[in-house]
């Protein structure tokens, strides 16, 4: 699943800049300028998508960005964890069932899905494999504004 979401920027009086995600309306943030607002956007998106995970909901599919529209990319570990969650929802796999497939207990599965937990890449890859998936890496050149957004 693509984990890059387009954003809309809105300038306010006094220089404040708001950031809005059409695909994830719960993700809203702002900054004193465009760079600061975009820098905060990744955290806002991560927090909003974590609520989808907590509620067991499917993640919103990112829309295609319009020409020149900024994109916010989730950190790789967060993107993988959300992909595991998404696959579990689509396949109807519970945490207990994933634990059985991996030979681990439920607490370890909860940690794999916890966006704040620093899970090992090998654990995440094993969870993806158990769900019939694998991760791939894409490295791209970024603009100066996007540097702080890409992790």
DSSP secondary structure, 28-72, as one string: EEEESSHHHHHHHHHHHHHHHHHHHHHHTPPPPPPPPPPTT--EE
Range of the domain at 106: 76-130
The ranges of the chain with pLDDT < 70 are 142-151
For 46-59, what is each residue's pLDDT tens digit?
999 999 999 988 89
Joined together, the tokens standing for residue 49 give: 């998508």
**Residue 146 within any structural domain of the chain:** no
Of 54, 74, 94, the position where a domain reaches its end is 74
| pLDDT tens digits for range 99-120 | 999 999 988 999 999 999 999 9
Please state the domain count of the chain: 2
**String of DSSP letters for 96-113:** HHHHHHHT--HHHHHHHH
pLDDT at res. 1: 72
Within a domain: residue 141? no
Residue 143, pLDDT score: 64
Q: How far is CA 21 from CA 10, 60, 77, 105, in A?
A: 11, 11, 21, 36
d(CA 58, CA 66): 24
Considering the domain architecture, whether residues 80 and 124 belong to the same structural domain is answered as yes
Q: Note whether 59 and 81 are same-domain residues.
A: no
Domain CATH number, residue 16: 3.30.160.250
pLDDT of residue 90: 93
């Amino acid at each position: 699943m693509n984990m890059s979401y387009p954003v809309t920027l809105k300038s306010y009086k006094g220089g404040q800049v708001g950031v809005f995600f059409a695909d994830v309306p719960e993700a809203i943030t702002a900054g004193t300028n465009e760079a600061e607002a975009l820098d905060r956007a990744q955290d806002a998106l991560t927090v909003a998508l974590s609520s989808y995970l907590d509620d067991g909901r499917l993640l919103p599919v990112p829309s295609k960005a319009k020409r020149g529209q900024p994109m916010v990319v989730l950190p790789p570990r967060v993107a993988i964890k959300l992909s595991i969650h998404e696959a579990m929802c689509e396949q109807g796999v519970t945490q207990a069932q994933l634990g059985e497939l991996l030979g681990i207990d439920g607490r370890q599965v909860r940690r794999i899905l916890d966006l704040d937990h620093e899970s090992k890449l090998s654990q995440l890859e094993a969870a993806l494999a158990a769900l019939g998936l694998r991760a791939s890496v894409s490295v791209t050149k970024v603009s100066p504004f996007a540097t702080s957004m890409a992790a």
